[in-house]
Amino acid sequence: MKTYELTVPCHFGLESVLKKEIYDLGYEISEVEDGRVTFIGDAEAICRANIFLRTTERVLLRVGKFKAETFDELFEGIKALPWEEYIPENGKFWVTKASSIKSKLFSPSDIQSIVKKAMVERLKQKYHTNWFEESGASYPVRIFLLKDEVMVALDTSGESLHKRGYRTLTSKAPITETLAAALIMLTPWNKDRILVDPFCGSGTFPIEAAMIAANIAPGMNRSFLAEQWTNLIPRQLWYDTVNEAQEMLDTDIKVDIQGYDIDEEIVRAARDNAKRAGVDGLIHFQQRPVSQLNHPKKYGFIISNPPYGERLEEKAALPELYRTIGEAYRRLDSWSMYLITSYENAPKDIGRKPDKNRKIYNGMLKTYFYQFMGPKPPKRKGTKE
């Protein structure tokens, strides 16, 4: 079967998590750049990457890469690519996004227009026609320019992969599903350990943790644009991949995952979201302030996205809030705590320097993933831990 270069974007700073996911799926990585990883895979890999990868925003099929400093070079470079190998005569194609960083060509609308014209010219020659109905499947194109190097790709996913399909109601400052999954996977948490999110909002951290624990593939209950690409991907491959995901499910597990929030309505929304995700039986949601955070067991994890105070009137309340977080954490003997926040004084107000601090861009917002490590639990007899 033909192999492709597949590029998968992720949040800046979380490339290592996505790399591990790709290796675990059994694919060979060819390139790692800021905010994206490229690997080699066949048509089945397109299905499996869309359905199984938890930390990428989409799966892009790379058509080509070349240098362009002028619009003429861009036109000729696009025209030289073998578009007929990807887009059938009745395919609908357009440039859905063009981005340019540190490049001489920087106008997205001009780049989009020239790329479309060059594609039309190439396909006119190959299909011996002057008119394309574009009545078939959709083949959206994405163009990335970095230091005058053009990467050209087809988007196989359609809607962003963070849209798992379970979240209809969200809280004021939601964290995306892909970022939540990546942050959980960055910690040593596993399904045998307690996890509490005291600012759970619409439930994203607890739900993603429960999906990881139950081995629920994040994309198994949604559709993808490339399902219509029967010229490249036999439809049976999608069915086979969903069957593979079904066989891996383990919803009979016993876990201790909890989510708290002070807003009763948001807690109700979180329960509804968990139900849609198929993990409502694995999570205990409760209306409770962070000041009441306690747990009798040791070696648990707090993983949370507390308020950042993005609005001016909320900023004044942050020192007191983070002091309360610190007090609650000190009561939890031997626990670990992981917080993502843009609030730079968090460690000072919490009253403890983090063991690790990772800078992560949440969209355009610079945030910090503060990591406060508790001790490892004692080894159980008979384990090789």
Domain residue extents for the chain: 4-155, 177-216+250-372
Ranges 44-58, 236-250, 307-321, 326-340: which has the least confidence: 307-321
Percent of residues in the chain assigned helix, strand, coil, to nearest 5: 35, 25, 40
Alpha-carbon distance of 258 to 135, in angstroms, equals: 48
pLDDT at 346 > cutoff 60: yes
pLDDT tens digits, 204-242: 999 999 999 999 999 999 999 999 999 999 999 999 999
- For 133, the 3-state DSSP assignment is coil
* CA count, 13 A, side-chain hemisphere, 189: 32
Q: Give the pLDDT confidence score for residue 385 in this predicted structure.
A: 44
The residues, ordered by sequence, that sit 6+ positions from 247 with a Cβ below 8 Å of its Cβ are none
Residue 61: pLDDT over 60: yes
pLDDT band at 153 (very low <50, low <70, confident <90, very high): very high
> CATH topology for 4-155?
VC0802-like (3.30.2130)
Name the residue among 147, 142, 123, 135 with its Cα closest to residue 63: 142
Q: Is the pLDDT of residue 60 over 70?
A: yes
Other CB atoms within 10 A of residue 36 CB: 19
pLDDT computed for residue 18 by the predictor: 98
Phi, psi of 137 (to 5 degrees): -65, 160
For residues 271-277, average pLDDT: 96
Model-level pTM? Answer: 0.94
> Distance between CA 14 and CA 178 in Å, rounded?
10
User: Which of 138, 150, 128 lies closest to 81, judged by CA?
Assistant: 150
Query: What class does CATH assign to 177-216+250-372?
Result: alpha beta
pLDDT of residue 169: 63
- pLDDT, tens only, 239-271: 999 999 999 999 899 999 999 999 999 999 999
Sheet holding 28-33, edge to edge: 28-33, 36-41, 4-9, 60-67, 149-155, 138-146, 92-101
> 314: pLDDT confidence band, cut at 50, 70 and 90?
confident
Computed over every residue of the chain, the mean pLDDT equals 94
Q: What percent of the chain has pLDDT over 70?
A: 96
Contact between 237 and 47 under an 8 Å Cβ cutoff? The reply is yes
Q: What are the E-state strand segments in 229-295?
A: 257-261, 283-287
Residue 380 is predicted with a pLDDT of: 73
- What pLDDT does residue 351 have? 98
